[in-house]
């Protein structure tokens, strides 16, 4: 029996797990039977079970409604429903007078949301309205009004697409699930028909537009639940199938990346908001579909699960989620439309992430060990969230509160501690965690927007991607950004940033990440414990340029800036820090051992200062002594100043601001300081007197330090150059750590422009190579010379470890060969056409033959000049996918049966046959390098005495691929090259 035929009694197709789910769903529904009305006459079936599962997700299980925190939450829900019921006044143009329908689509969503709250109050125990006939009648009246006036199959959508396809239907379908037994078949049908109108299956036709990432999951949820409510298995199956494009790792655009980056809206780091929607939506879908004929079986779903720890957990600290991955959500604060008037901040967003991970752990999708690890991690967050405990969060629903309380009560789960690590992400974000504190750095580049604004949100987040350095302590500072920071902070004094003070208009730069900087150098390198981070800074609507670096150590972050230049006619600042002192202003501020006034409005410029500290927070060290501007000031603002939908209530917070003033129109300005979270004034003074860090370079070309006590040398090369013992032949980031007779070197290319980078280290005594990943050691004699294969890594590091003991590595030579011939051939009607004069070449495997759409690229290289034995050969190609059928594919190199072809003569029909299958590599719509291992073919060409290595590039045989367009030797930039290592 097909899944879409399951409309009668319990199907024999259901698994034993499905039967158990039915029993559980029946129990959930039975608990509400006294006010839901009589059960359907027929026996429970799959759809009933799934509806019961969904009701359980909405209402929660296993909690005592009379106990804290549930009693208060249920009472508040009842109060809200009572208010909504009393104020409902159906009229021609509105269901509630304050939500006129016709021009603002959000009013449709909000109207559905109010009915949802009323339905929850009807179903949930302890609300004071549980099972209320008048409340049920009001919900029914509201549904009928919407079906007639606002959300109908004949309504043309207006304003924001999201309200029609996600916001309104999700809430409407929740109401239908909750009130199912009290609704007439005509009401269910009307709701389903409206959803079909606004969310047709054509939304799933391609993974593009707004149907990607978190939005795709939301759309799948709508269609699946509409299938459950309307008893339509075909829709549930379509929704389940449409989830699959969300699971795989992406190389560009929206989605989850291999390193844990999560991007939405093409170029916005968004794990904290859209990522939460994705995480929560998938968790709910997995639970809804588990044990049914539509259970998620796509193996890529397991790949997604493994990304939870890599993509979301690094941005959660003590239960909060870091603002650097929350986009325009940081500005929401207290929404005017929120009946509870709960402030949305890093803690409330963090509680959502925590709850979503806990729900996913209970979904049964992930292996037991992984789920157990998630629970231990979540329990640690719950216990450490001293500032705004999850169980006190009034914005959370009963299910989330119940799951958290159950976990805290579970003695079999041991809370996991915060890890000590560094995580660097390709989305221009980094997180540094030490014992007792954590920091997060937000950068931007041509790949990521300055900031996102839209829908009247985040109006002044202009500089939040200009090197903002946020940090928190284990028992202090967790309210730094939660306590009305964004509406009250000076947006030109965001901590860590270098900015022009040129006045910017609200929403400057344009809606929806309209503006990105032109720089490509943003990122760095890490060994997982320490890191060198850097940014080639550009100003928003400004002439500002500069180079910034953050060297992340054990108890400090050493910050350098150089080449700071601007011609805006205004001053340029680098903000050392801007601490939110809250409303009380009691913190003690010390400069070089002297306590400063706590008077609000106080300011002073300190010359030659070496250390500053705020009691109970941390300190800043200025190793060379410098001029620092300081002010202690009260600032007043409202959430509405940064978000038009938010509260207009004035809020005042006190700030201690420290900054460098580089002057008006600076040329080549620089700075140096060290952040030491949790450090006392005395310890900061001691560090200033005995620095552990030596600055090797601080220029526009290179910024580098050494820290002998940690065995570290780190350098960011913005151009080829030398810093201390390190020389690089191209822009790159290098981390060297020496200890116990070993030297580990990590090299990355944050610009993502080089296929390989050669790094020379003025170090002797390291003989053998104990481990290498993407790094070729050319020599260890007198100095160490490395060739790092950085192409196609998306800025990730390549690592090699050398040892002072063991046999010496044999010297090797690297040769970069340009192609002597490049072209492509095409089958079918084009089988006799030559394309040897083209500036690009194409690859595509259609899986068929003779259709005219299969294309292979051919390349020839003169290898006659190579000497020695070929130990490695990589074919480097540059290009991207250009195909309406998708966004990424895999290229594969092949040896050819003959090298006897010519660039201007070869065609598909005369091309040499493919022989040995060689290396593969991914390519996406983003232009990038792809490296294909062709060692066997080049070695064979040399062994045979031939002077030419003939290679073909196609896609794996038998696999349907996408069209990829690659540069040829005729291209002006990034032509193909063959990198050969001989010994």
Which residues are catalytic, by number?
Answer: 215, 265, 274
SS3 category, 856? strand
Q: Is residue 804 a contact partner of residue 765, using CB atoms and an 8 Å limit?
A: yes
Identify which of 317, 418, 420, 346 has the alpha carbon closest to the alpha carbon of residue 376.
418
Q: Is residue 328 a contact partner of residue 366, using CB atoms and an 8 Å limit?
A: no
String of DSSP letters for 659-686: EEEEEES-SSEEEEEEEEET--HHHHHH
Q: Is residue 548 a contact partner of residue 537, using CB atoms and an 8 Å limit?
A: yes
Angle at 316 between CA 313 and CA 320, to 5 degrees: 155
Phi, psi of 879 (to 5 degrees): 175, -160
Q: Is residue 587 a contact partner of residue 656, using CB atoms and an 8 Å limit?
A: yes
**How many other CB atoms are found less than 10 A from the CB of residue 248?**
15
**How many other CB atoms are found less than 10 A from the CB of residue 91?**
12
Q: Is residue 509 a contact partner of residue 540, using CB atoms and an 8 Å limit?
A: yes
123 CB burial (10 A radius; 0-12, 13-18, 19+): buried
Six-digit token string for 966:
């690659």
String of DSSP letters for 621-660: EEEEEEEEEEEEEEEEE-GGGTBTTB----EEEEEEEEEE
Q: Could you list the beta-strand ranges (E) of 798-887.
A: 798-803, 813-818, 821-826, 840-843, 855-862, 870-881
SS3 category, 506? coil
Q: Is residue 837 a contact partner of residue 824, using CB atoms and an 8 Å limit?
A: no
| CA 702 and chain centroid, separation | 29
| CA 258 and chain centroid, separation | 11
Phi, psi of 499 (to 5 degrees): -140, 155
Q: b/e string for 803-821 if b means 16 or more Cβ within 10 A?
A: beeeeebeebebbebebeb
Containing H/E element for 79?
A: helix 70-87
Containing H/E element for 284?
A: helix 274-289
Angle at 177 between CA 176 and CA 183, to 5 degrees: 45
Max intra-chain CA distance, the chain: 92
**How many other CB atoms are found less than 10 A from the CB of residue 265?**
21
Six-digit token string for 889:
């594919």
Beta bridge partners of 661: 573
Identify which of 573, 666, 660 has the alpha carbon closest to the alpha carbon of residue 609.
660
Beta bridge partners of 500: 572
Residues sharing a CB contact under 8 Å with residue 819, sequence separation 6 or more, in sequence order:
859, 860, 861, 968, 969, 975, 976, 977, 978
Residues sharing a CB contact under 8 Å with residue 869, sequence separation 6 or more, in sequence order:
939, 982, 983
């Amino acid at each position: 029996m097909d899944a879409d035929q399951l409309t009668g009694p319990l199907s024999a197709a259901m698994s034993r797990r499905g039967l158990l789910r039915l029993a559980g769903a029946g129990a959930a529904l039975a608990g509400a039977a006294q006010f839901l009305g009589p059960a359907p006459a027929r026996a429970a079936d799959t759809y009933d079970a799934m509806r019961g599962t969904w009701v359980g997700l909405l209402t929660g299980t296993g909690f005592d409604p009379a106990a804290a925190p549930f009693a208060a939450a249920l009472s508040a829900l009842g109060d809200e429903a009572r208010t909504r019921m009393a104020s409902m006044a159906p009229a021609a143009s509105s269901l509630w007078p304050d939500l006129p329908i016709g021009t603002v689509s959000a009013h449709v969503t909000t109207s559905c949301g109010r009915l949802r709250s009323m339905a929850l109050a009807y179903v949930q125990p302890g609300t004071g309205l549980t099972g209320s006939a008048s409340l049920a009648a009001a919900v029914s009246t509201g549904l009928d009004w919407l079906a007639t006036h606002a959300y109908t199959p004949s309504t043309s959508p207006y304003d924001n697409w999201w309200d029609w396809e996600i916001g309104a239907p999700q809430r409407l379908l929740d109401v239908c699930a909750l009130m199912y037994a009290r609704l007439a078949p005509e009401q269910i049908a009307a709701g389903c028909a409206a959803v079909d109108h606004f969310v047709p299956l054509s939304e799933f036709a391609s993974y593009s537009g707004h149907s990607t990432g978190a939005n795709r999951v939301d759309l799948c949820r709508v269609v699946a639940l509409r299938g459950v409510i309307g008893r339509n298995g075909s829709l549930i199956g379509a929704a389940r199938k449409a989830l699959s494009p969300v699971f795989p790792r992406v190389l560009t655009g929206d989605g989850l990346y291999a390193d844990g980056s999560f991007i939405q809206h093409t170029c916005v780091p968004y794990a904290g908001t859209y990522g939460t929607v994705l995480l929560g939506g998938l968790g709910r879908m997995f639970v809804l579909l588990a044990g049914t004929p539509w259970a998620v079986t796509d193996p890529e779903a397991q790949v997604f699960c493994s990304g939870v720890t890599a993509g979301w957990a690094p941005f959660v600290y003590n239960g909060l989620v870091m603002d650097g991955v929350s986009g325009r959500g940081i500005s929401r604060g207290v929404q005017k439309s929120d009946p509870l008037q709960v402030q949305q901040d890093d803690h409330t967003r963090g509680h959502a992430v925590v709850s979503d991970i806990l729900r996913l752990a209970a979904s049964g999708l992930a292996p037991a060990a992984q789920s157990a690890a998630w629970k231990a991690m979540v329990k640690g967050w719950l216990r450490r969230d001293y500032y705004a405990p999850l169980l006190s969060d009034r914005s959370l629903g009963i299910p989330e509160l119940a799951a958290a309380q159950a976990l805290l009560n579970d003695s079999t789960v041991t809370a996991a501690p915060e890890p000590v690590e560094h995580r660097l992400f390709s989305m221009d974000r980094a997180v540094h965690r030490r014992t007792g504190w954590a920091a997060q750095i937000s950068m931007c580049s041509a790949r990521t927007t300055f900031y996102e604004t839209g829908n009247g949100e985040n109006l002044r987040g202009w500089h939040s991607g200009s090197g903002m350095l946020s940090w928190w302590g284990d028992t202090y500072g967790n309210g730094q950004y939660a306590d009305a920071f964004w509406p009250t902070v000076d947006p030109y004094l965001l901590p860590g940033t270098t900015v022009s003070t040129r006045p910017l208009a609200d929403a400057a730069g344009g809606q929806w990440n309209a503006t990105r900087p032109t720089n490509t150098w943003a990122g760095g390198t890490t060994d997982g414990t320490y890191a060198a981070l850097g940014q080639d800074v550009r100003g928003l609507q400004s002439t500002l340029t500069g180079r910034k670096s953050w060297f992340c150590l054990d108890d400090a972050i050493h910050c350098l800036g150089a080449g700071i230049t601007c011609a805006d006619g205004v001053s340029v600042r680098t903000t050392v820090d801007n601490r939110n002192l809250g409303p009380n202003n009691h913190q003690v501020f010390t400069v070089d051992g002297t306590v400063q006034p706590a008077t609000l409005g106080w300011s002073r410029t300190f010359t030659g200062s070496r250390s500053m500290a705020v009691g109970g927070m941390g300190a800043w060290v200025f190793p060379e002594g410098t001029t620092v501007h300081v002010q202690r000031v009260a600032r007043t603002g409202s959430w509405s100043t940064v978000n038009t939908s938010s509260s207009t209530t004035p809020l005042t917070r006190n700030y201690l601001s420290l900054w460098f003033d580089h002057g008006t129109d600076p040329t080549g300005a620089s700075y140096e300081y060290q952040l030491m979270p949790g450090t006392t004034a005395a310890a900061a003074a001691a560090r200033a007197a005995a620095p552990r860090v030596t600055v090797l370079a601080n220029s526009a070309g290179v910024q580098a330090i050494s820290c002998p006590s940690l065995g570290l040398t780190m350098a960011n090369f913005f151009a080829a150059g030398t810093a201390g013992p390190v020389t690089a032949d191209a822009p790159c980031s290098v981390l060297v750590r020496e200890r116990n007779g070993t030297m580990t070197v990590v090299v990355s290319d944050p610009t993502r422009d080089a296929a390989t980078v050669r790094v020379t280290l003025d170090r002797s005594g390291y003989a053998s190579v104990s481990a290498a990943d993407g790094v070729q050691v050319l020599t260890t004699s007198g100095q160490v010379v490395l060739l790092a294969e950085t192409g196609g890594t998306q800025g990730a590091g390549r690592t090699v470890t050398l040892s002072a003991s063991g046999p010496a590595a044999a010297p090797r030579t690297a040769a970069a060969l340009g192609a002597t011939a490049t072209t492509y051939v095409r089958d079918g009607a084009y089988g006799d056409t030559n394309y040897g004069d083209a500036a690009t070449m194409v690859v595509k495997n259609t899986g068929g033959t003779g259709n005219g759409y299969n294309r292979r690229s051919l390349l020839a290289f003169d290898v006659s000049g190579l000497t020695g034995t070929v130990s490695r050969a990589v074919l480097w190609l540059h290009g991207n996918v250009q195909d309406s059928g998708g966004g990424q594919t895999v290229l594969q190199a092949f040896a050819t049966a003959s090298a006897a072809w010519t660039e201007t003569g070869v065609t598909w029909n005369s091309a040499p046959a493919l022989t040995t299958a060689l290396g593969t590599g991914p390519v996406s719509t983003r232009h990038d390098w792809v490296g294909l291992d062709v060692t066997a073919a080049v070695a064979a060409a040399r062994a045979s005495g031939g002077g030419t290595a003939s290679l073909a590039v196609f896609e794996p045989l038998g696999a349907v691929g996408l069209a990829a367009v690659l540069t040829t030797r005729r291209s002006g930039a990034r032509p193909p090259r063959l990198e050969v290592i001989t010994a």
